[in-house]
Amino acid sequence: MRVRVPATVANFGPGFDVFGVGIGEPHDELRFRESDEWSINVRGFPVPADGSNVAVVAAKTLASMVGEEVALRMELKKGIRPRSGLGSSGASSLAGSLAMAKVLGVEDEELILKAAMEGERAACGSAHGDNVVPAYYGDFTVIESLNPLRVHRIPVDFHVVVVLPSVEIPTREARKVLPEKVPLKDAVKNVALASSLVKALQEGDLKTVGRLLDDRLAFPYRRRLYPWWETAKKAAIEAGAYGVSISGSGPAVFAIGEDVTEIGKAIAEAFNRMDIEAEAYITVAGRGFEWF
Ligand SMILES: Nc1ncnc2c1ncn2[C@@H]1O[C@H](COP(=O)(O)OP(=O)(O)OP(=O)(O)O)[C@@H](O)[C@H]1O
Ligand SMILES: N[C@@H](CCO)C(=O)O
C-alpha cells in the first residue's frame, strides 16, 4: 500500500498556525505494510531511517491511541526538503499516521490528525496543525481549535509558485524567535488581514488575496532570518505578483499572480543574483493526500 502526501504552505500570510493549503508539488510518498518488526528506509532527501523518523513517530502514536500493538515496514520517498517551510515533517507525519490508520482500519479524522501532530511535535517541539490538516483535507483550511479539533475548509484550485532557496530554517529555531505577546494594534491588523483574506478566497478574488499576504504576528520577528526577503519580494512584484509571502516558517517563498511561471523565474533569478541557488515549483494550491 502507498500514500502520497503533498507539501503545504502554512500561515499563508496573516494566518499564523491557523491557515494552510496543500500544493501539487513537491510531495512525500510512503509505501508500507504490516510487519513483525518496525523498519523504515529512506530515499530522496536525508532524514533519519530509524524510530526518530516522524512517519514512525506518528504511526506508533496512532497505534497506541487505539491500544494496538502493530509494526510497519515503511519505505519513504522523501520528496519535500526538510527545513524548507513546505511542511516536510508534516507530510511525513501525516503519511505515517495514515499508513497505520489504513492497516488498523481507523477512520477517526481527529485521531489521525492528532497522531500526525505528534510527529510535528517530535520534529520541532510543537504540535502545530497547519501542515498536516491542509495536507489531509486538500482544501485551504482554517483551524478554529485543536482541542477539540475544529477545521473550516475552503475548496480552492489556483496556480501558485513556490521558490525554495538553498538555505535551511529549522521550524524549531523560527519559533524560538517569536514573542510571548504582540502589540494590540498588530493583533487587530492580523484580524483584519486574515478575515478579509478568507472572504476574498471564498469569492475567488486572488488579486485581493495577494494584497492581504501580510503578517504582524510572526514575520516582523522572523524578518532577520530572511536577509534576502526585500530583494525576492521586489522581484515578485515587478514580475506581476498579486502578492508574495513566506511559506510556513520559511525559507520557501510563495507568490500568486497572472503568470506564476514568470514570477517564479524572477524570484529565482533574484536569489541567484544574491549567490543563493533556488528551485521554483510552478504548481497549484488545493491538493491533499492520495492513496495510490
Ligand atoms: N520524515 C521526516 N521528514 C522531515 N523531517 C524529519 C523526518 N523525520 C525526522 N525529521 C526531522 O525533523 C526535523 C525537521 O524539522 P523542521 O520542522 O525544522 O523541518 P520541516 O518540517 O522540514 O520544516 P518545514 O515545515 O519548514 O518544511 C529535522 O531535524 C528532520 O531531520
Ligand atoms: N505555523 C508554523 C509553521 C508551519 O510550517 C510556524 O510558522 O512556526
Residue 246 lies in a domain: yes
Backbone angles phi, psi at 58, to 5 degrees: -65, -40
Q: Residue 16 CA: which ligand 2 atom is closest?
A: 1
- Say whether both 14 and 110 belong to one domain: yes
pLDDT confidence of residue 268: 98
Residue 116 lies in a domain: yes
Known binding residue 225? Answer is no
If one counts every other C-beta atom within 10 angstroms of the C-beta of residue 237, the result is: 17
Which distant-in-sequence residues (6+ apart) come within 8 Å of 193 by Cβ?
13, 14, 212, 214, 215
> Quick one: cell of 15?
494566518
- Say whether both 175 and 109 belong to one domain: no
What ipTM was reported for this prediction? 0.94
The per-residue b/e assignment along 134-172, b for 16 or more CB within 10 angstroms, e otherwise, is: bbbbbbbbbbeebeebebeeeebeebbbbbbbebebebe
pLDDT confidence of residue 12: 98
- Say whether both 131 and 108 belong to one domain: yes
- Say whether both 167 and 259 belong to one domain: yes
pLDDT confidence of residue 204: 97
- Say whether both 92 and 123 belong to one domain: yes
How far, in Å, is the centroid of ligand 1 from the Cα of 185? 33
- Say whether both 138 and 194 belong to one domain: no
Distance in angstroms (rounded) separating the CA atoms of residues 214 and 278: 23
- Say whether both 128 and 162 belong to one domain: no
CB within 6 Å of ligand 1 — which residues? 47-48, 52-55, 82-90, 92, 123-124, 131, 170-172, 248-249
Residue 24 lies in a domain: yes
- Say whether both 167 and 117 belong to one domain: no
Q: Where are the beta strands (DSSP E) in 166-291?
A: 241-246, 253-257, 278-285, 290-291
Provide the residue range defining the domain that includes 37. 2-154
CATH number at residue 79: 3.30.230.10
- Say whether both 64 and 172 belong to one domain: no
Residue 292 lies in a domain: no
Residue of the CA atom closest to atom 31 of ligand 1: 47
- Say whether both 55 and 133 belong to one domain: yes
- Say whether both 130 and 245 belong to one domain: no
* Measured CA angle at 90 (ends 83, 102), to 5 deg: 150
Q: Residue 87 CA: which ligand 1 atom is closest?
A: 25
Element (H, E) at 11: strand 2-11
Residue of the CA atom closest to atom 4 of ligand 2: 248
pLDDT confidence of residue 234: 98
Known binding residue 44? Answer is no
- Count up the domains in the chain and report the number: 2
> Quick one: cell of 2?
502507498
pLDDT confidence of residue 260: 98
pLDDT confidence of residue 111: 97
Q: Please report, in tens digits, the pLDDT of each residue of the chain (292 residues total).
A: 999 999 999 999 999 999 999 999 999 999 999 999 999 999 999 999 999 999 999 999 999 999 999 999 999 999 999 999 999 999 999 999 999 999 999 999 999 999 999 999 999 999 999 999 999 999 999 999 999 999 999 999 999 999 999 999 999 999 999 999 999 999 999 999 999 999 999 999 999 999 999 999 999 999 999 999 999 999 999 999 999 999 999 999 999 999 999 999 999 999 999 999 999 999 999 999 999 9
Asked whether 135 and 289 are in contact (CB, 8 A), the reply is yes
Asked whether 155 and 114 are in contact (CB, 8 A), the reply is no
Please compute Rg for the chain using Cα positions. 18
Q: Residue 122 CA: which ligand 1 atom is closest?
A: 12
pLDDT confidence of residue 109: 97
Residue 220 lies in a domain: yes
pLDDT confidence of residue 136: 98
How far, in Å, is the centroid of ligand 2 from the Cα of 40? 26
- Say whether both 7 and 150 belong to one domain: yes
Distance in angstroms (rounded) separating the CA atoms of residues 105 and 66: 11
Beta bridge partners of 9: 21
How far, in Å, is the centroid of ligand 2 from the Cα of 33? 31
Residue 104 lies in a domain: yes
Residue of the CA atom closest to atom 6 of ligand 2: 249
Residue 278 lies in a domain: yes
Distance in angstroms (rounded) separating the CA atoms of residues 248 and 218: 10
How far, in Å, is the centroid of ligand 2 from the Cα of 16? 7
Known binding residue 85? Answer is yes
Residue 176 lies in a domain: yes
